């Protein structure tokens, strides 16, 4: 009977200690949140922009901005994140080392700059013009009398005789 009495006192004492110990507050969340908005230089919202966050371990999460240009990424482990926001016709917005803390919401708004179209043209001289008559199979070569005949072209209103010349003609 003595053993039964001793267990009762120990149980009663343990319960009394628990009752007197302050109850732990609600457990603090182990994750944080990143939120913000994407706008253009005039302040207009940019819907459908892609928001990518890369964790310190290299894990990537993505969301799209809503019709109001806002985004929310919840459940991020505490740490520093690289944030990249992209949208067609805008240059990417990038921010390294955005600190996310447990139980807090980190705000990060992004003003996206308009992208100026860039076009690149590469010119190379890999082909060469071949002037060898033997390789010009489809060419017509005019010589002698054929060339002279070509130089006498008649127009319906008057006859014009064309001759090769090296003189400069001055106009009025």
> Residue 113: its pLDDT value, please?
94
Report yes or no on whether pTM surpasses 0.75: no
- CA dihedral (41, 42, 43, 47) in degrees, to 10, reads -80
Give me the tens of pLDDT residue by residue for the chain, a chain 172 residues long.
Answer: 455 555 566 666 665 555 655 555 455 579 999 999 999 999 999 999 999 999 989 999 999 999 999 999 999 999 999 999 999 999 999 999 999 999 999 999 999 999 877 667 777 766 666 677 666 666 676 777 777 776 666 554 455 555 555 556 666 5
> Residue 69: its pLDDT value, please?
96
Sequence-ordered list of residues with C-beta below 8 angstroms from that of 108, at least 6 positions apart, any chain: 34, 35, 36, 83, 95, 98
Find how far residue 66's CA is from the centre of its chain.
18
CATH of region 32-111: 2.60.40.1120
Query: Domain boundaries in the chain?
Result: 32-111
């Amino acid at each position: 009977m003595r053993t039964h009495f001793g267990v009762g006192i120990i149980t009663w004492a343990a319960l009394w200690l628990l009752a007197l110990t302050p109850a732990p507050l609600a457990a603090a969340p182990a994750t944080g949140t990143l939120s913000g908005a994407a706008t253009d230089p005039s302040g207009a919202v940019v819907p459908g922009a892609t928001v990518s966050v890369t964790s310190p371990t290299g894990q990537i999460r993505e969301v799209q901005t809503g019709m109001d240009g806002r985004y929310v990424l919840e459940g991020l482990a505490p740490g520093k994140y690289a944030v990249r926001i992209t949208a067609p016709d805008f240059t990417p917005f990038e921010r390294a080392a955005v600190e996310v803390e447990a139980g807090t919401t980190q705000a990060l708004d992004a003003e996206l700059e308009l992208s100026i179209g860039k076009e690149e043209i590469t010119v190379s001289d890999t082909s060469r013009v071949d002037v060898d008559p033997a390789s010009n199979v489809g060419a017509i070569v005019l010589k002698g009398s054929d060339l002279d005949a070509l130089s006498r072209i008649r127009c319906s209103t008057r006859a014009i005789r064309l001759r090769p010349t090296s003189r400069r003609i001055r106009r009025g």
